[in-house]
């Protein structure tokens, strides 16, 4: 593990401010997806690593696409993941952290930009811009041509008289824009490659390109970590910052770090439609927060050359955004599951059981969705089962198959398809011998070791069956499956009466 606990210099990368102020500012459209949470996680980790501040605000300026449901889900996702914040939603006035409530702030700054000559009224329609580009032999992708920069007052008056309303565009200077990206190093956009861009729509709506830097400026954000899809907007924001500094609205231009895409199967960006991009589906599948956070942390960053399972504390101690790799990271479900399994094994047994209960309830294996409301019998059996199960599941959703036969009072469990193959010609004989042997044990003697010894002696040593053939049918009788938690421990938990009944009933059904 590298020692990043101090603010070390990173060759070629900027020095981080003494007190970092970062923000996570999603738009509430759709489900919380893995890419979004990955961004939140890295901002949080950088803030925690450096003892800085994380701000959480909502960029809800698109009333057509924003939903309350999405907002609630994002907050639930952060809570579930244990990503906390220091300033922002719930920790200050909504007028500060919901962009939908800040139209007057943006309008005021837009006016200041206009008055100072940093922005100008633009009356050109998309069709007019396209027609001018065509006439001048420029490609369509050229975009806006700066036409309205030099409109005279009379020309503007004429447009207004026609009933046209202007958009506001920001003036881009005729020079290269360069910054030293925290992830990617130096990036330059050549002079003329970024057209003057719209900051306020003709209907008066301020756009993301304006609202995002204004809020960052007002809350004194000094490190911006966000997805690489936003990289094209960065030169514009850097120019806007210059103007905001001139106007006394911003203190500084933040440092920018553009985080790698999270890729799915093949070479495609993980899309919102991929089931494995949906955080809540992953939770439903039985990921625990520690496992998923650990895995997400590894998408673009590594903890050490030899170790990829770590706690959140180890993660925040070690993380430095300047170590993040710029190449796209692939979401590998198999690896994610393996890491989750490691974290499940590290849980305290009681914690493991408490977290498993909602999954057991959903599958109909227990009577309530939380530990405290379970019956005493359920609690006793689960406590006995925990050591058998916790090391054998990779996802919490796998607990049901393991413990359902232990919880069930059914006297017959029909063999599942995988278990039928385990039943051979001699299975009836094996079961007869097992029943005869086990019936000699008293209730008090019905213990793991005694059951094990007796069955080994009678079926393997005396009758000469291979252990697999001897114990296979017994396992199927107990669990209905070919694979189950350890057999003899399971039989002790199931108890003598039900175990004997299951053996007899499987025998009768062969
Ligand atoms: N609201 C923007 C988004 O969800 C965030 C942009 C940023 O982090 O600068 O993409």
Domain(s) labelled CATH 1.10.8 in the chain stretch across: 349-408
Confidence of residue 2 (pLDDT cuts 50, 70, 90): very low
Task: Determine the pLDDT at residue 337.
Answer: 98
Average pLDDT value for residue range 14-21? 97
Asked if residue 49 has pLDDT above 90, the reply is yes
The pLDDT score that the predictor gives to residue 114 is: 98
Residue nearest to atom 3 of ligand 1 (CA): 26
**Can you give the pLDDT at residue 271?**
79
Determine whether the shortest distance from the Cβ of 231 to ligand 1 is under 6 A.
Answer: no
Top mutation candidate among 39, 209, 226, 227 for ligand 1, by most atoms within 8 Å of CB: 226
CB atoms within 10 A of CB 471: 21
Render 242-261 in DSSP notation, one character per residue.
Answer: HHHHHTTS-S-PPEEEEEPP
The band of 8, judged by pLDDT with boundaries at 50, 70 and 90, is low
Question: 196: Cβ below 6 Å to ligand 1?
Answer: no
Q: What is the pLDDT of residue 3?
A: 42
CB 447 within 8 A of CB 492: yes
- Take atom 8 of ligand 1 and give the residue whose Cα is closest: 226
Query: What is the CATH code for 417-509?
Result: 1.10.10.350
pLDDT tens per residue across span 80-130? 999 999 999 999 999 999 999 999 999 999 999 999 999 999 999 999 999
Ligand 1 closest atom vs CA 212: 9
Q: How far apart are CA 117 and CA 428, in angstroms?
A: 93
Mean pLDDT of the 251-255 span: 98
Res 154: pLDDT: 97
Q: Establish whether residue 223 lines the binding site of ligand 1, counting it when its CB lies within 6 angstroms of any ligand atom.
A: no
Report the separation in Å between the CA atom of 61 and the middle of ligand 1, taken as the mean of its atom positions: 11
Q: Is the CB of 33 under 6 A from ligand 1?
A: no
| Farthest CA pair distance, the chain | 109
SS3 content of the chain, % helix, strand, coil (to 5): 50, 10, 40
Most informative mutation of 21, 23, 24, 27 for ligand 1 (most atoms within 8 A of CB)? 27
Nearest-atom number in ligand 1 for the CA of 227 is 8
Mean pLDDT throughout 242-246?
98
Percent of the chain past pLDDT 90, that is, above it, reads 91
Average pLDDT for the chain: 95
Looking at the chain, the domain(s) classified CATH 1.10.10.350 span 417-509
pLDDT of residue 266: 75
Q: Report the distance separating Cα 196 and Cα 218, nearest Å.
A: 23
Nearest in space to 277 (alpha carbons), one of 9, 442, 30, 14: 30
**pLDDT single digits (tens) 277-286:** 899 999 999 9
What is the CATH number that goes with domain 103-259? 3.90.800.10
- Distance from the alpha carbon of residue 28 to the mean position of ligand 1, in angstroms: 10
Q: What is the DSSP letter of 348?
A: -
For residue 226 and ligand 1, the question of a CB distance below 6 A is answered with yes
**Which residues of the chain form CATH 3.90.800.10?**
103-259
Predicted pLDDT of residue 6: 44
pLDDT digits (tens, 9 = 90+) for 58-78: 999 988 999 999 999 999 999
Is residue 143 within 8 Å of residue 129, measured between CB atoms?
Answer: yes
Ligand 1 centroid vs 23 CA: distance in angstroms? 10
Q: What is the pLDDT, as a whole number, of residue 381?
A: 97
With a pLDDT cut of 70, the percent of the chain lying above it is 98
Distance in Å, CA 203 to ligand 1 centroid:
22
Q: Is the pLDDT of residue 185 over 70?
A: yes
Residue 1 has pLDDT above 70, yes or no: no
Does pTM top 0.85 for this prediction? yes
Q: How confident is the model at residue 140 (pLDDT cuts 50, 70, 90)?
A: confident
- Which mutation among 59, 214, 229 tests ligand 1's pocket best, with the greatest number of atoms within 8 A of CB? 59
Say if ligand 1 is within 6 A of residue 48 CB. Answer: no
CATH number of this structure's domain 349-408: 1.10.8
Q: What is the mean pLDDT of residues 228-256?
A: 97
> Hey, CA dihedral for 440, 445, 446, 448, is it positive or negative?
negative
Best probe residue, ligand 1, of 23, 25, 254 (max atoms within 8 Å of C-beta): 25
The ligand 1 atom nearest the CA atom of 225: 8
Please tell me the predicted confidence (pLDDT) of residue 5: 39
Indicate whether 404 pLDDT > 60.
yes
pLDDT of 263 > 70? The answer is yes
Q: What is the mean pLDDT of residues 436-456?
A: 97
| Cβ 365 under 6 angstroms from ligand 1 | no
Residue 418: pLDDT above 50?
yes
Q: What is the DSSP letter of 65?
A: T
pLDDT at 273: 77
Q: Tell which one of 57, 209, 230, 254 to mutate to probe ligand 1, the residue whose CB is within 8 A of the most ligand atoms.
A: 230
pLDDT, one tens digit per residue, over 478-509 is 999 988 899 999 999 999 999 999 999 999 99
Instruction: Quote the pLDDT of residue 267.
Output: 77
For residue 493, the surrounding DSSP H or E stretch is: helix 487-494
- Mean pLDDT across the stretch 417-436? 94
């Amino acid at each position: 593990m590298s020692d990043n606990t101090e603010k070390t210099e990173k060759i070629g990368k900027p020095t981080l401010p003494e007190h970092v102020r970062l923000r996570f500012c999603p738009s509430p459209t759709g489900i919380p997806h893995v890419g979004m949470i990955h961004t939140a996680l890295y901002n949080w980790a950088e803030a925690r690593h450096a003892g800085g501040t994380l701000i959480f605000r909502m960029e809800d300026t698109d009333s057509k696409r924003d939903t309350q449901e999405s907002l609630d889900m994002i907050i639930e996702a952060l809570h579930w993941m244990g990503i906390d914040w220091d300033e922002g939603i719930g920790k200050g006035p909504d007028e500060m952290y919901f962009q939908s409530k800040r139209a007057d702030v943006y309008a005021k700054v837009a006016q200041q930009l206009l008055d100072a000559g940093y922005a100008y009224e633009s009356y050109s329609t998309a069709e007019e811009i396209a027609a001018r580009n065509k006439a001048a032999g420029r490609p369509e992708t050229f975009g806006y041509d700066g036409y309205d920069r030099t409109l005279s007052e009379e020309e503007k008056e004429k447009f207004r008289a026609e009933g046209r309303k202007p958009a506001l565009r920001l003036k881009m200077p005729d020079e290269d824009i360069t910054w030293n990206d925290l992830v990617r190093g130096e990036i330059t956009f050549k002079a003329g490659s970024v057209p003057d861009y719209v900051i306020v729509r003709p209907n008066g709506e301020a756009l993301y390109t304006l609202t995002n830097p204004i809020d960052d400026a007002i809350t004194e954000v000094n490190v911006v970590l966000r997805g690489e899809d936003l990289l094209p907007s960065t030169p514009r924001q850097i120019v806007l910052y210059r103007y905001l500094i001139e106007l006394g609205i911003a203190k500084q231009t933040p440092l920018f770090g553009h985080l790698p895409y999270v890729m799915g199967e093949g070479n495609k960006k993980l899309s919102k439609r991929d089931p494995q991009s949906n955080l809540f589906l992953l939770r439903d599948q039985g990921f625990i927060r520690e496992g998923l956070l650990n895995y997400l942390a590894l998408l673009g960053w590594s903890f050490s050359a030899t170790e990829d399972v770590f706690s959140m504390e180890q993660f925040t101690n070690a993380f430095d955004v300047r170590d993040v790799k710029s190449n796209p990271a692939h979401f590998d479900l198999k690896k994610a599951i393996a890491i989750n399994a490691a974290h499940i094994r590290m849980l305290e047994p009681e914690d493991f059981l408490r977290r498993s209960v909602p999954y057991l309830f959903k599958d109909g294996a227990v009577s309530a969705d939380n530990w405290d409301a379970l019956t005493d019998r359920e609690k006793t059996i689960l406590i006995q089962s925990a050591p058998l199960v916790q090391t054998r599941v990779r996802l919490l959703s796998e607990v049901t198959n393991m413990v359902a036969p232990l919880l069930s009072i059914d006297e017959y469990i029909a063999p599942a398809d995988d278990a039928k193959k385990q039943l051979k010609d001699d299975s009836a004989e094996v079961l007869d011998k097992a029943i005869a042997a086990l019936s000699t044990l008293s209730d008090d003697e019905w213990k793991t070791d005694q059951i094990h010894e007796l069955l080994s002696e009678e079926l393997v040593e005396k009758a000469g069956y291979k252990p697999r053939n001897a114990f296979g049918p017994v396992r199927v009788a107990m669990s209905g499956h070919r694979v189950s938690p350890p057999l003899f421990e399971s039989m002790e938990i199931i108890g003598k009466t039900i175990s004997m009944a299951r053996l007899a009933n499987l025998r009768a059904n062969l």
